[in-house]
Amino acid sequence: MPATDEETVVPYVITDACLDVMDRTCVAQCPVDCIQEGERMLYIDPDGCIDCGACEPVCPQEAIHLAAALPAELQHFEAVNAQFHTATDYGPAGPGRAAGVDHPVVAALPRR
Amino acid sequence: MPHVAVVGAGPSGLFATAELRRRRPDVPVDVLDRLPTPFGLVRYGVAPDHHRIKSVTATLAAVFADERVRFLGNVGLGSDVTVAELRRSYDAVVVATGSGAARDLGIPGEGLPGSITAADLVAWYNGHPDAVPVLSWPRPATVAVVGAGNVALDVARVLLKSGTGLDDTDIPDPVRAGLDAHPVHAVHVVARRGHHDVRFSLGELLAFDDLPGVVPVVDPAGLTDDPPPGHAARARHAVFRRWAENSPGPGDRVLRFHVHRSPVAVLGSTRVTGIRLADPTTGTASVLDVDAVVRAIGYRGTPIPGLPFDPERATVPHESGRVEPGLYVTGWLKRGPSGVIGTNKACAVESVGSLLDDLDDLPAAAPSARKALTAAHEVVDWAGWTRIDRAEIALGRRRGRARTKITDTAELLAHARH
């Protein structure tokens, strides 16, 4: 059955606690393979995410948040995760891009 | 060419099938299910208003696009085929039949009319072919739901929404009517675990903020100031503290949480009239007047002839999913009824890894046995399920919904035939 939510929902969001760690345990748990890699961080595709919550508790960095409960200082990662999957000049590996390229906001963060 | 059987077309069985396809695309797989319909607990366990989670069916169904993967629905392990027959017919067998039975509280009064299991209630509101109506209370009712996990929250939410509130779902017409005929004005959620240890997920809790006419309230007793470790648990703690301040007005329906309270007896003479709780630390007792008790304290696996069984854990003993070479388990039957849908994917990857380590050294099965196995039954194949699927979508469309489930086995089989 298709999701009936017409608006784009972002149930779970990966934040900068993932930066330069990329543990990837979440990738193995995601039943719909909606977690994609940039160079330094992972991102959740809001169109693919089915809101099951498998990823959130397995992250050793506690980088994954329910979008509805993001702390104020991390709110912008909701857009960062979504834009990573819709932008043309950066995003996950795919046709025309051999490896993932981070969102500019993430790429600009200092190395950890 | 080896041929693998996967028993159970729920998420665990289908994740195992997908992993087999990914690693050995040359190996054909037959996926058996006792029902004429695939998807197991995604179809019959996930709450009907969880549209996004239910949409995982699109991912799970993808394995059947490959002609080397067959769906053999309406073939029950134990009733139609045995483990021994499957092992003679297939080179390797993966059992993913889950944990179907409800756990009991083991307290006096549990058998009274009005005391039911979440397993039975969930199966009924999801239109499981074997389910029977379980709601029996006088109107309007107060219901206690015992449990510290998301199933307890599903049950509470569905009861508070009633049938009309589930208009955008696939629930069958009799379920909608049954829920509307049994209105609920208050739900008490009772959990033995403390505030820091409950398993309610944050998203499931927050859903109650958006339920019209429903006010969530938390009994502040035992709600400490110190937040638990982990950001999700801290956010949950903050929700509980916020809800502890709520005061429902007249006419509001109330969802009241009683955490760190053990149920010690279901009260009543001819049917449920209350539930007695005790503080697990001090023993201090209290009574809630309720018309029904729903126990949502988990599921149990049941023994399957031909498979070893650990009665303590109610699971099949295994090593990395291997019961013995040629026989494997995955999902709830392997690790017990815990985790969310995605948890079963990593679980299936492990079991299939063990299977593929063994596969080329296993004795070959007889293809003739395989043919005889399926010839004796009315098998619903993927095309048959597709016809059921279309019939349900058409039924829903007439009601202005995406789908309305068909629940009667004979009717499901009739749609599968043509």
Residues in A closer than 8 angstroms to B232, CB to CB, are 56-57, 62, 65-66, 69
Tell me what pLDDT residue B224 has. 81
Residues B3, B90: Cα–Cα separation, whole Å: 6
**Residue of B81, B102, B162 lying closest to B374 (CA atoms):** B81
Q: Does B201 touch chain A (CB under 8 A)?
A: yes
Residue A107: inside a domain, yes or no?
Answer: no
* B8-12, B250-254, B354-358: segment of lowest average pLDDT: B250-254
pLDDT digits (tens, 9 = 90+) for B211-241: 999 999 998 877 888 888 888 889 999 999 9
Instruction: State yes or no: pLDDT of B307 exceeds 60.
Output: yes
Range of the domain at A21: 12-89
Residues in A closer than 8 angstroms to B169, CB to CB, are none
Residue A78: inside a domain, yes or no?
Answer: yes
**Residue of B146, B135, B144, B226 lying closest to B183 (CA atoms):** B135
CA distance B368 to chain A (A): 36
Say how many domains are in chain A. Answer: 1
Q: Does A28 touch chain B (CB under 8 A)?
A: yes
Task: Name the residue among A3, A54, A66 with its Cβ closest to that of B203.
Answer: A66
Tell me what pLDDT residue A2 has. 38
Q: Do A51 and B349 touch (CB under 8 A)?
A: no
Task: Name the residue among A2, A32, A62 with its Cβ closest to that of B230.
Answer: A62
Residue A67: inside a domain, yes or no?
Answer: yes
The band of A1, judged by pLDDT with boundaries at 50, 70 and 90, is: very low
Q: Which two tokens stand for residue B75?
A: 């073939």
pLDDT digits (tens, 9 = 90+) for A41-90: 999 999 999 999 999 999 999 999 999 999 999 999 999 999 999 999 99
**Residue of B195, B197, B279, B294 lying closest to B239 (CA atoms):** B195
Q: Does A1 touch chain B (CB under 8 A)?
A: yes
Residue A70: inside a domain, yes or no?
Answer: yes
Q: Does B229 touch chain A (CB under 8 A)?
A: no
Residue A108: inside a domain, yes or no?
Answer: no
Residue A40: inside a domain, yes or no?
Answer: yes
Q: Do B203 and A50 touch (CB under 8 A)?
A: no
Residues A43, A103: Cα–Cα separation, whole Å: 9
Q: Do A31 and B56 touch (CB under 8 A)?
A: yes
Q: Do B56 and A49 touch (CB under 8 A)?
A: no
Q: What is the mean pLDDT of residues A23-41?
A: 95
Residue A1: inside a domain, yes or no?
Answer: no
pTM comes to: 0.94
Q: Do B56 and A2 touch (CB under 8 A)?
A: no
Give the CATH number of the domain where residue A45 resides.
Answer: 3.30.70.20
Q: Do B345 and A29 touch (CB under 8 A)?
A: yes
Q: Does B341 touch chain A (CB under 8 A)?
A: yes
pLDDT digits (tens, 9 = 90+) for A87-111: 999 999 998 899 999 999 999 999 9
Burial B261-285 (b: 16+ CB within 10 A, else e): bbbbbbbbeeebbbbbbbeeeeeee
Please list the alpha-helical segments (H only) found in B196-271: 202-206, 231-244
Residues A38, A93: Cα–Cα separation, whole Å: 8
This model of the complex carries an ipTM of 0.87
Tell me what pLDDT residue A7 has. 46
Tell me what pLDDT residue A5 has. 43
Q: Does A65 touch chain B (CB under 8 A)?
A: yes
pLDDT digits (tens, 9 = 90+) for B122-178: 999 999 999 999 999 877 999 999 999 999 999 999 999 998 899 999 999 999 999
Q: What is the mean pLDDT of residues B240-256?
A: 94
Residues in B closer than 8 angstroms to A53, CB to CB, are 201, 203, 340, 342
Q: For residues B390 and B384, is the Cβ–Cβ distance under 8 A?
A: no
Instruction: State yes or no: pLDDT of A10 exceeds 90.
Output: no
Residue A28's Cα: distance from chain center in Å? 14
Q: Do A50 and B53 touch (CB under 8 A)?
A: yes
Tell me what pLDDT residue A8 has. 54
Q: Do A51 and B344 touch (CB under 8 A)?
A: no
Residues in A closer than 8 angstroms to B203, CB to CB, are 11, 51, 53, 66, 68
Q: Do A69 and B206 touch (CB under 8 A)?
A: yes
Q: Residues of chain B with pLDDT > 90: what percent?
A: 88
